[in-house]
Amino acid sequence: MQKLTIDLQCASPAIEKILGTIASHTLIKKWVRETTKSSGLLTLRFVNRLEGKKLNQAFRSKDKATNVLTFPYELSKKSLVADIILCLPIIQAEARAQGKTIQSHLAHLIIHGCLHAQGYDHEIDHAAQKMERLEIKILKGLGFANPYILL
């Protein structure tokens, strides 16, 4: 059986240092593995606001950084290939604003991005509810609270 390769990239040493205070690479890979049984390659790139803004502008025509962007390239019943871009400064600010730990918010957005890579979406209500239920279930299994209950 093929395995899932998880490549973690940091846009700069500063981003790598920040990430290291939030979660280890081992822990991040555990979160990813909880979202899929597929083989393939998932690349998670942790970026600053500038890179996040450039990517969001180029691919979504939005002139601001966003928390997570997912770029799925290949998806079959057993394999997937995708890039997931996570903007750490946005994630940190959102966590503070929502009264969540940065680690729990990061875990949620990694799982959210991984589900997008597998074809899940939240553009229509019933699809959003299905995706949210799955996120809640995975996060609960990892010891995190429901991210949709605001404190």
Beta bridge partner(s), residue 41: 5, 81
Domain ranges of the chain: 4-141
pLDDT band at 53 (very low <50, low <70, confident <90, very high): very high
> Is residue 105 over pLDDT 60?
yes
Range 4-141 classified under CATH 3.40.1390.10: no
Q: How confident is the model at residue 63 (pLDDT cuts 50, 70, 90)?
A: very high
Report percent pLDDT > 70 for the chain: 97
Using 50, 70 and 90 to split pLDDT, how confident is the model at 3? Answer: very high
β-partners of residue 42 are 6, 82
pLDDT value, residue 134? 96
Structural contact between residues 117 and 80, judged by C-beta atoms closer than 8 angstroms: yes
Averaged pLDDT for residues 134-149? 95
Question: C-alpha angle 67/18/88, rounded to 5°?
Answer: 5
Rounded to two decimals, the pTM is: 0.94
How far apart CA 133 and CA 87 sit, in angstroms, is 24
Three-class HEC string of 80-137 = EEEEEEEEHHHHHHHHHHHCCCHHHHHHHHHHHHHHHHCCCCCCCHHHHHHHHHHHHH
